Structure 1
């Protein structure tokens, strides 16, 4: 159905009402004028009849019919009126338009009968003599108190209508002018009434777009003005509420976006209502395009689907854990609760997702560490206990065997002591920072030489040559003892896993505000599968060979922690059968300087 503007609702209504009113007014006016004209015409006819009666003034009108007929013809032509004189018997003795002798008896004419009765008679009827409709007025002609005849005047209705027609045309013309004026007035009134409504419509459209800065002006009409004031108050309240809701939404979005945990809200049909940035990153979603979609459409994790279905249908809080497969496997802990409205109606569910991959890995590392510590400590303790029991049970009688047993016990004790010392070192390093370890400016080449001196004897025994490449003027801010320990651990490993007659290379250079130190050997190398866990505590590539060579399994872990407290990084590149290169990158706090 076609909608029309308010103007086209008001204007036709006003126009129809005005036209109907004008039409009724025209009808009544014309009839009133016509009636008035007919009454006046009847009065004029009566007046003319009275004048004619006064001129006849004969006691017996029938005694002078020729005179009366002549008088009727002369006066009728002068007044433009048909004059007729009728005796009491109904005989016509004078007429303006016809010979009385040829005219029929008029005794039964209604106006004649009324006049013969002593009254003024009037009638409008068809004249068979003239063959047209006429208006008649008759007055009694008396002789003394006796009615002796009738004087009648008449006029053709066509002449009356012709005279009235000119009046009718003028009235119709006036009414047309009034109608045109009424159309203009109706249009003006309709537009004036519609204009404030149109302004309110435009204002309401602005309000729907959130434009509240242009209030409605006051109107001349009290009702429209009250409506405008109400709309302005509504707009002000809407503006305030929208601002409040927007601020609350922005605060909520900011909170959700800054959360490390992922948050997802779904409705009772498991359509996504809200998802924050952390959840999008966890599940690989686009936050904007996923709103309104079913969770099953955008997330391909069966455990999560079952968790959400149980949460939505159960109505109680739930906890779960599942794995996310992707470029890197992640373990996620989910905590969910029903989403309930203000009136207690069920609206869906909300879930908080915790990425516990790191915690899980730390737990694995912790379990491995406990197991490794237990194993590493149990081995020397078991060995010591065994030899002590042997000596107690009589093995001490053999001096040579006793000395051998004591040497073994001493080595195992030293190994146990090394493990404990390394663990204590790691514990101290984990609780330290760069500002707590006591750094000082030291010549890097001297530091490298000092570390080499500590392993030189072992290198000579294994026929391993150590080469150094470092600018003698480079200095760096480090803790000398810790840095020396890290270098010794790397050199010691390089010597252990190098073949006799091989070479270990140590080099240092400055690049982008960092000192880069590399230790390279050309030994057996390390398979790629072991590299990610190489710096874990007690992790060994070849456990048997490591124990045979006397390692505790904590050396590289200590190196990593020492470099970390210096604000640096450690990395390794290795190829099986070709050797390994360990690289230390340490920031130079004040930049390298010459000594």
Structure 2
């Protein structure tokens, strides 16, 4: 066979081999795609976008309980680690749905993440998603549980606090009736009855004030408030009680500083601090009230020479109904709400309140508020 014949045959053979190789590569690629699809299954159309937009936690699991898709919330709650559900309780719910075919809903108490001690309360719904997958959606109800607990404690504390003066009023009323023929006893019981009635009125008023301070619009219309006026008014309100206990109220120099806020509320807060200082101070001592302003921060400090606060209780003094010395507080008619009101008033004004104390040497409570600077004061004045 001459060379002229061999060349076309070689070309034809080369083309045939090339086509065969190309076919093999295409088939291998398709097989690889099918294998990849089996190894990394995709969720039904649209579910990806829904999970990405979900604020609550959402998880899709395949037949082997491998997490195929998880929303950002599921990761943030610590429900998913790698490609697995962390909590056995959730896996149990998934298995029940896969076994019975019926969607289930349940509230669960879970550890927040695989390593933490904190707990979260979730409302979980699990249902089938198509023939292969299971969808788990969890809504965080931890805050709701916390608020319910706070409400229950608050109601229990109020009941406890009101029980004493209400019981005293009843007993005093009976005593008055029995002593109707003895004017001296009538005057004695009437005086105590008046004191208990005042205590009831004070507790009720402080509960109302605390509820108002916790409202979203507690400080919706702030004014310019002169701190020197606030100090003067608060001292005047405590002057008679201080004199009765031989306690001297010592005031620092005027600072002529102003803040944005509600003058009446700030007076209530400072009044509570001064009243608290008087209550826990020995007779013939001093309570100092000073104002300082540094770097745009106004500080109002109330210092006493009282019994002081143990270190382990300093973080709790602003809790409702908490008392450092319950017997002393009840004897003087304290409700246990005063410092809680101080904290909420100050927070509503964009500030904070701090405490320094040493048992046997006294305490200093300091209200810190942002100063109304010249430019911002002018702006507020224009708005008003």
Instruction: Identify the TM-score tier after normalising by the shorter chain.
Output: 0.7 to 0.9
Query: How far apart in 1 are the matches of 2:97 and 2:246?
Result: 68
| CA offsets 1:161-199 (integer angstroms, 9 cap, x no match) | xxxxxxxxxxxxxx41323432465378669x85xx79x
1:499 maps onto 2:274 in alignment = no
Query: How far apart in 2 are the matches of 1:382 and 1:576?
Result: 34
Q: Compare relative contact order (CA 8 Å, sep 6+) and give the higher one, 1 or 2.
A: 2
Given that residues 338 and 346 in structure 1 are in contact (C-alpha distance below 8 angstroms), is that contact kept between their aligned partners in structure 2?
no
2:242 aligned to 441, 445, 459, which one?
459
Query: How far apart in 2 are the matches of 1:335 and 1:417?
Result: 46
1:337 maps onto 2:163 in alignment = no
1:255 maps onto 2:53 in alignment = yes
2:265 aligned to 482, 485, 489, which one?
482
Given that residues 535 and 557 in structure 1 are in contact (C-alpha distance below 8 angstroms), is that contact kept between their aligned partners in structure 2?
yes
Query: How far apart in 1 are the matches of 2:68 and 2:253?
Result: 61
2:71 aligned to 276, 300, 303, which one?
276
Given that residues 506 and 518 in structure 1 are in contact (C-alpha distance below 8 angstroms), is that contact kept between their aligned partners in structure 2?
yes
Displacement after TM superposition at 1:390 (Å): 2.9
Query: How far apart in 1 are the matches of 2:96 and 2:313?
Result: 41
Q: Which residue of 1 aligns with 2:12?
A: 186
Query: How far apart in 2 are the matches of 1:334 and 1:578?
Result: 51
Query: How far apart in 2 are the matches of 1:474 and 1:455?
Result: 22
Residues 273 and 185 (structure 1 numbering): CA distance in 2 closer, same or farther, change over 3 Å? closer
Query: How far apart in 2 are the matches of 1:521 and 1:263?
Result: 55
In the TM superposition, 1:193-272 aligns within 5 A as: 248=46, 251-256=49-54, 259=55, 261-272=56-67
In the TM superposition, 1:126-165 aligns within 5 A as: none
Given that residues 246 and 285 in structure 2 are in contact (C-alpha distance below 8 angstroms), is that contact kept between their aligned partners in structure 1?
yes
Given that residues 60 and 69 in structure 2 are in contact (C-alpha distance below 8 angstroms), is that contact kept between their aligned partners in structure 1?
yes
1:347 maps onto 2:136 in alignment = no
Displacement after TM superposition at 1:387 (Å): 1.9
Residues 473 and 442 (structure 1 numbering): CA distance in 2 closer, same or farther, change over 3 Å? same
1:582 maps onto 2:365 in alignment = yes
1:374 aligned to 154, 159, 164, which one?
159
Given that residues 58 and 138 in structure 2 are in contact (C-alpha distance below 8 angstroms), is that contact kept between their aligned partners in structure 1?
yes
Query: How far apart in 2 are the matches of 1:464 and 1:327?
Result: 50
May I ask how many residue pairs the two structures share in their alignment? 359
Displacement after TM superposition at 1:333 (Å): 2.4
Q: Which has the larger radius of gyration?
A: 1
In the TM superposition, 1:22-421 aligns within 5 A as: 175-183=1-9, 185-186=11-12, 248=46, 251-256=49-54, 259=55, 261-283=56-78, 290-293=81-84, 295=85, 299=86, 303-304=89-90, 306-310=92-96, 312-314=98-100, 315-324=102-111, 329-341=118-130, 345=131, 347-356=133-142, 358-392=143-177, 394-421=178-205
Gaps of 5+ in 2: 34-41, 379-384
| CA offsets 1:125-183 (integer angstroms, 9 cap, x no match) | xxxxxxxxxxxxxxxxxxxxxxxxxxxxxxxxxxxxxxxxxxxxxxxxxx413234324
SS in 2 for 1:553: coil
Query: How far apart in 2 are the matches of 1:520 and 1:329?
Result: 38
Query: How far apart in 1 are the matches of 2:61 and 2:336?
Result: 50
Displacement after TM superposition at 1:412 (Å): 0.9
Displacement after TM superposition at 1:276 (Å): 3.0
TM-score normalised per structure 1: 0.52
Gaps of 5+ in 1: 1-174, 209-241
Residues 370 and 268 (structure 1 numbering): CA distance in 2 closer, same or farther, change over 3 Å? same
Q: CA RMSD in A?
A: 3.7
